Chains A and B, each alone.
Chain A
Amino acid sequence: MEFGLSEEQLMLTESLRGFLDERLPMNKLREIAEGGLGFDGELWSGLTEQGIMGIMVPEDFGGLGLSLLDAAVAAEALGYHAAPTPFAAALVMAPLTLIASGDRAQQKAWLPRIASGEVRIGVGFAGMSGQTGEAVARLDGNKLSGCITGVLDGGDATHFIVYLGDGRAALFAAVEEPGVSVSTHRSLDRTRPVTALVLHDARAAILGAANDPKAAATAVLDAGRVMLAGDTLGAAQSMFDKALLYSKERVQFNRVIGSFQAVKHTLADIITMLEPCRSLVWYAAHAQDGPAEEARVAALQAKAHLGDAGREIARLATEVHGGMGFTDLLGLHYWFKRIAFNRQLLGAPERCRHEAAVAQEWVS
């Protein structure tokens, strides 16, 4: 038994963090965030060189064939730097959908293109995601109609996958197709947008090869939830690190503010919340390869708990910064909003906990 990261996983964290440290300084982050698309060509090609495009793509299809825990480690690093880039949907949920529900030909057609960074697929759910907004889709032959809001990783996406209520998935191109209307809006979190899809008899490829489509769809949704939890973990860690550093530098009443118990205890409270969160995220990612009920409860509890702990940590870390934390000057708000975004997507804490109760048969 060993509970922790492998050497390779530690190296993945280190190299991603190093890359983002260098390539995404505050002024660059601001510049990309102004557009609000959650995509930057230069950053994307840099990340391609880092090898994360194929993180979930099997080696047979040109990917790295890594585990969801590796992906969670990457999500944490991206959250730490509030990286304005597609990830949870485009590089995790989309390949997992193709692996679980695509036929061999579809896998051959799409997975290598995901691994090379050539396609970026946004993912939305008609029902079942537990988030607010419009979520209706119906399939007539291979023609898809409906309206889905709050689609993840839609900024500059080349394609979309929409899950239907019955667990089947439909894949279609983002542009140049009649009946497809994509509108991407800047969100509260300027590092990632929200996308709305309006579809009228759009031609789509059906990904329907899973034996149990509903279970397959749920597994993909839960994997996405673990990614958002991992992203929040990184963002919360980043806010804590900034608050700790600030508390050791900022002087008031002739003392650094970190010597005041009020501030010291706040930081102690944050780290006491934060470290167990990391273990929960790691476990939840690892558990997705195990028995279904355990996997479900772990993903749902991780999403819920990180949503709540993340919000609390974001507030406390902002408070430690005093008035400066409230301004745009420090840019701390990018992480605050990153955490807020992750909380609402794919089911907020209360919704996830309810699902966890159902999964454990506490209620029907």
Chain B
Amino acid sequence: MDLRYSSRHRALQEDARSFIKEYGHLSPKTGGGRKRPDARALDWQELLLERGYFARNIPREYGGFGLPVDIMELAIIAEEFSIAGVSPGIMNQGISMLVPTLLEVGTKEQCIRWIGPTIRGDIIWCQGYSEPGSGSDLAAAKTSARVEDGQFIVNGQKIWTSSAHYADMMFLLCRTESDKSKHDGLSYLLVPMNAPGIEVRPLVTMTGRAEFNETFFTDVRVPTDQIVMGRGDGWHVANVTLKYERMLLGDANKLTYRLARAVELMKKTMLAGRRFIDIPEYRERLLKLQGEVMASKYHGLRLMTEQAKGEDSGVKRLIVKLNGTMIAYRLSSLVVDVLGAAGLAYEPVGEASEDDEATTWQIDNMYDIGLIIGGGSSNIQKNIIGERGLGLPREPKSVPPAVRG
């Protein structure tokens, strides 16, 4: 156990601090990520890429900074940016899910073509996984693609496609091999969202905002080279992507940052002449969450150490999403309670909506439930933990109830 940084890491920390001091004022607002990056965000992204604070380990030929992976460096950068409240760069599904997937299983041509524009924020991706009839049971996807005149012809419907209304591209899981079994019949295609035959309909969520969409495909043409790995490999590729998604959800930096904001808020918000932090019932909730956030934070450091050593963390990694999303929800719930009746005025739609602190917390609190469900719901996480992590047997197969007729 040694929580000190090496001199090289201390130097990086110093560099990051002076970078933030000099350029931090150029950063776009943190959080959000629910709209297309604006000019300020794109300029900031360019600066981060140029200095190696973003895409640090992506090869130079693909537009990254080209340094070998040092997980500690990434943690130091993330922590410094998080403490300073400065944007760590664009966070979206293309960057955090598709890019690592292409690096792991894509061809060199695909990496050259897609990674650069994606990490610069020029190409925005959305994820075409869930369907009305296949959510948790992702491999049951029915959206199909047949080959005709050297092109895939896609037909079907996807749901929960966040950012589809402004995305340029979609990574799509669809059925190409109708004669093969459920898991072997899928392929992973890269689909341009401006292709004729795609219709995006906004799906208003419980927050009152259209954070998701339904996406319909009618004879949408996709060039046959826009497939990742081969036909029938879609389930494998999708799982590579999901692995990166689950690492993203449940991030301990976010919890630490949120906890600090909750403490700040409880020190300044009053109820009947008392600060919330002075009211034992609320303070106890805050303290309980502090203990859990600390446990999650050090669990994260432990995983990072194991990853740096090339060890397989097994079940320890599988619990991160379930644990982190639940604590995040309880933290935003505490804040919503501290805001109380005064935090109930709610207009979630429109330019000014995210400037109102209470509205943002209310949105976050509900969005947290979305995160508990998305990327494999908590119940699915528990199956994964139990079966893959603990070696418990799968639920025996059952047949769907017969349709009466």
Asked whether any CB of chain B lies closer than 8 Å to the CB of A108, the reply is: no
> Is B1 a contact partner of A4 (Cβ separation < 8 A)?
yes
Q: Do A286 and B287 touch across chains, with their CB atoms under 8 A apart?
A: no
CB neighbours of A3 from chain B (8 A): 1, 3, 298, 301-302, 304-305
Cβ contacts under 8 Å, B284 to chain A: 350, 353
Say yes or no: A276 contacts B298, CB within 8 Å: yes
In the complex, chain A residues whose CB is within 8 Å of the CB of B305: 1-4
A82 at the binding interface (Cβ < 8 Å): no
Residues of A within 8 A of B382 (CB): 261, 264-265, 268-269
Q: What 0/1 readout, one digit per residue, does chain B (229-273) give for beta carbons within 8 Å of chain A?
A: 000000000000000000000000000000000010001000000
Given contacts A5-B1, A280-B298, whether A353 and B288 have CB atoms under 8 Å apart is yes
Contact B323 A305 (CB under 8 A): no
Could you tell me the distance between the alpha carbons of A256 and B389 in the complex, rounded to whole angstroms? 17
- Any chain B CB within 8 A of the CB of A313? no
Q: Does A252 contact B (CB under 8 A)?
A: no
- CB 8 Å contact bits of B383-399 with A (1 = contact, 0 = none): 10111011111111000
Q: How far is the CA of A228 from the CA of B4 in the complex (A)?
A: 27
| A255 proximity list for chain B (CB < 8 A) | 393, 396
Q: Mark A280-301, 1 if CB is under 8 A from B, else 0.
A: 1011001000000000001001
Q: Which of B281-306 contact A (CB under 8 A)?
A: 283-284, 287-288, 290-292, 294-296, 298-299, 301-302, 304-306
Measured in the bound complex, the distance between the Cα atoms of B385 and A277 in whole Å is 17
Inter-chain contacts of A357 with B (CB < 8 A): 277, 283, 287
For residue A286, which residues in chain B have a CB less than 8 angstroms away from its CB?
Answer: 1, 3
A319 CB, min distance to chain B CBs, angstroms: 16
Q: Point out the residue from B2, B5, B263, B386 that lies within 8 Å of A362, measured CB to CB.
A: B263
Asked if A276 meets B392 with Cβ closer than 8 Å, knowing A1-B3, A4-B302, A264-B387, the reply is no
Partner of B277, one of A247, A278, A279, A363: A363
B392 touches A259 (CB 8 A): yes
In the complex, A255→B398 CA distance in Å? 14
Shortest beta-carbon distance from B388 to chain A in Å? 11
- Is the beta-carbon distance between B386 and A267 smaller than 8 angstroms? yes
User: CA of A283 to CA of B395 in the docked complex: distance in angstroms?
Assistant: 38
* Beta-carbon nearest neighbor of B323 in chain A: A272
Residues of A within 8 A of B304 (CB): 3
B291, A305: Cβ atoms closer than 8 Å: yes
| Cα–Cα, bound, A354→B278 (Å) | 11
Indicate if B35 sits at the interface (CB-CB under 8 A): no
Q: How far is the CB of B287 from chain A (nearest CB, A)?
A: 4
List of A residues within 8 angstroms of B18 by Cβ: none
Chain B residues near A261 (CB-CB < 8 A)? 379, 382-383, 395
Interface of A is mostly: helix
Interface size counted on chain A using CB atoms at 8 A? 45
Q: Does B206 contact A (CB under 8 A)?
A: no
Residue among A265, A298, A353, A354 making CB contact with B386, cutoff 8 Å? A265
Instruction: Say yes or no: is B319 at the interface (Cβ < 8 Å to chain A).
Output: yes
User: A86 CA to B381 CA in the complex, in Å?
Assistant: 41
Q: Hey, which chain B residues are within 8 Å of A265, CB to CB?
A: 379, 382-383, 386
Cα–Cα, bound, A176→B322 (Å): 58
Is A268 within 8 A of B322, CB to CB? yes
Once bound together, how far apart are the Cα atoms of A280 and B288, in whole Å? 13
Chain B facing A: main interface SS: helix
- Given A3-B302, A276-B299, A308-B288 in contact, is the A271-B392 Cβ separation under 8 Å? no
| B390 lies within 8 A of A268 (CB) | yes
Tell me if B9 is interfacial: C-beta within 8 Å of chain A: yes
Q: Is the pair A362, B299 in contact by a Cβ cutoff of 8 Å?
A: no
In A201-254, the 8 Å CB interface with B consists of: 244, 247-248
Taking CB atoms, residues of chain A closer than 8 Å to B315 are 271, 275
A229 to chain B, nearest CB (A): 11
A75 within 8 A of B: no
Beta-carbon contact of B291 and A271 below 8 Å:
no
A27 sits at the interface (CB 8 A): no
Is A362 within 8 A of B390, CB to CB? no
Chain A residues, CB < 8 A from B1: 2-6, 69, 282, 286
Q: How far is the CB of B382 from chain A (nearest CB, A)?
A: 4
Kindly state whether residue B6 has any CB partner on chain A within 8 Å: yes
Residues B298 and A267 in contact, CB atoms below 8 Å apart = no
- Nearest B residue (CB) for A9: B1
Q: A248-B392, A282-B1 are in contact. Are A4 and B295 (CB under 8 A)?
A: no
Q: Which of B280, B283, B322, B382: most chain A CB closer than 10 A?
A: B382
Decide if B291 touches A1 in the complex (CB within 8 Å): no
A261 to B267, CA, bound (A): 43
Q: Which of B363-405 contact A (CB under 8 A)?
A: 379, 381-383, 385-387, 389-396
Nearest A residue to B389 via CB reads A271
Mark interface residues in A1-29 (1 if CB within 8 Å of B CB, else 0): 11111100000000000000000000000
A264-B387, A275-B299 are contacts. A283–B294 as well, Cβ < 8 Å? yes
Q: Which of B3, B295, B387, B396 has the most CB of A within 10 A?
A: B295
Q: Does B108 contact A (CB under 8 A)?
A: no
* Docked CA distance A301–B277 (Å): 17
Q: 6 closest A-B pairs (Cβ-Cβ)?
A: A276-B295, A279-B298, A264-B386, A305-B291, A3-B301, A268-B382
25 CB-based A-B contacts, threshold 8 Å: A1-B4, A244-B390, A248-B391, A255-B396, A258-B393, A259-B394, A259-B396, A260-B395, A265-B383, A267-B390, A268-B381, A268-B383, A269-B382, A271-B319, A276-B292, A276-B299, A282-B302, A305-B291, A350-B284, A353-B291, A357-B283, A357-B287, A363-B277, A363-B278, A363-B283
- Using A3-B305, A302-B291 as known contacts, list a sample of 10 further A-B pairs with CB atoms less than 8 Å apart, ordered by residue number in A: A6-B1, A258-B392, A268-B319, A268-B385, A268-B386, A271-B385, A272-B319, A272-B323, A279-B301, A280-B299
